[in-house]
Amino acid sequence: MTSRPRLLVAPALLVVAACLVAYVLLGEADEGVLVLAAALVVLGVAVAVWTTRSLANDLDRVHGDAGTQAELLSGVFASETASVLILTDATGAITRFNPGAEAVVGVPEAVALTRTPAFFLDESEVASWALAMRTEGDFAAVAAGLVASDQQQPLDWPFVRPDGERRVMSMTISAIHGADDHVTGYLCAGRDVTDDDDSESGTEQFLATMSLELRAPMASILGYAELLQEELVDPIVTAGARTFVDRIERNGQRMLLLIQDLLTLTRVEDADLELQRDEIDLRTLVAAGFDDLRVRTDGRRLDLSLRLPPEPVHQQCDPKLVEQVVAQLLLNASKFTPDGGRIVVSLKSNGTMSRIVVGDTGLGISLTDRERLFSRFFRSHQPEVQQVQGSGLGLAIVHAVVAAHGGSVTVDSELGRGSTFVVELPCRLAGGASRHDVVDTAPTMTA
């Protein structure tokens, strides 16, 4: 018998007994009814006692089950060392910090307790998510916003260890609900992905193969879309159908660009890559890229400036690849610089090294994002950046192409104050171009 019917039996018996007693007192019933009423009272009391004991036993059993579950959860937290498990209350204060979290974050549980995960997470990252979720800047508000937005995929959270080392944790945040369905806390589960190698040979082969396999059918789709656009001459049919065909064509072009980027990245990251060695006037290539920028931003309120030296800049390089570098840097500048901003493109050379500089007054890049800016598929979590379409491959291609030429690419940026990208290329290609590392501070420009 469930709890609710059991609770109603004793009161019902006592109510019936009271009614029978009333009948006797009013002289409308004989003493036999009074005996029956007395019996019902005794039975009601007995049922009440039995119900109370039964509920007490049920409560003990529930407490026992809860204790077992708590012990099980405690065992999981204590034994899991490969993953980060952090339990917080509704305010975000840490209540459990498993050995995996201790090892990854570098802080013992005793130090982490009662503090929020924000004490080790990158402050700018938490602030960016608070802005995106339109919440307060504390961890609990950000966690509540992510849960409410149904964010189920792991997110990369930069964090700082006590020794100052900056690392990245892939973490999922889930809400814990109490009996009344109110949020009683949050479970943060993740792992350290700082040292994950995203350029393994198997992945490289997969990307190359899939890109080649996808290019042919995508070209076919775009071809048929173009034919449909030409055939839609009937104004009645065209009204709705052309809109659909235009969407097919537009999204097909996006897919084709992504495929081409994947193929380019796979090619330039190949250790056996042989560059096409042509000697060009680098001014022509930069000027062409700037002309494309002007066409692409026509109608926008952007102040565009190009500064080229009067003498030819003799550059030995693979022209098509370097052209992609210039195009990608100018594309990024235009995408992330709002109207009213400025983009400046300049070229200098001392005969040994050529320097291409693309500066803007756009959104800027946080220190955390700069550390991963040239990683493939990286997309900043800044809300303004998330609103701009992109694959996260452009700057990875820039880095790979420049490195293949034995050059370097640097960035100097600050949130809200724009960015300056500097590409330096040796004027003559060496026999075996070394791949330089990327640094996050641009060198001082010389006159």
Give the Cβ contact number of residue 361 at 10 Å.
19
Distance between CA atoms of 103 and 427, rounded to whole angstroms? 48
Distance between CA atoms of 215 and 34, rounded to whole angstroms? 94
Distance between CA atoms of 171 and 187, rounded to whole angstroms? 10
pLDDT at 411: 93
Q: Tell me: pLDDT of 388 over 80.
A: no
Tokens 């889930």 map to which residue? 174
Sort 6 into a burial class: Cβ within 10 Å, 0-12 / 13-18 / 19+.
middle
Nearest to 155 by CA among 121, 204, 198: 121
In whole angstroms, how far apart are CA 333 and each of 202, 292, 345? Answer: 33, 13, 10
What lies within 8 Å, CB to CB, of 352 at 6+ separation is 426, 427
274-293 pLDDT, tens digit per residue, is 778 889 999 999 999 999 99
Distance between CA atoms of 303 and 127, rounded to whole angstroms? 31
Assigned token pair, 252: 């097909």
Q: What is the pTM of this model?
A: 0.49
pLDDT at 429: 79
In whole angstroms, how far apart are CA 174 and each of 70, 76, 85, 151, 255? Answer: 18, 17, 11, 9, 33
Contact predicate 306/287, CB 8 Å:
yes
| Alpha carbons within 13 A on the beta-carbon side of 194 | 15
309-350 pLDDT, tens digit per residue, is 999 999 999 998 999 899 999 998 998 899 999 999 999 999
pLDDT at 216: 59
**Helix, strand or coil, per DSSP, at residue 438:** coil
96-147 pLDDT, tens digit per residue, is 898 888 999 999 999 999 898 988 887 777 776 776 667 777 888 888 888 8
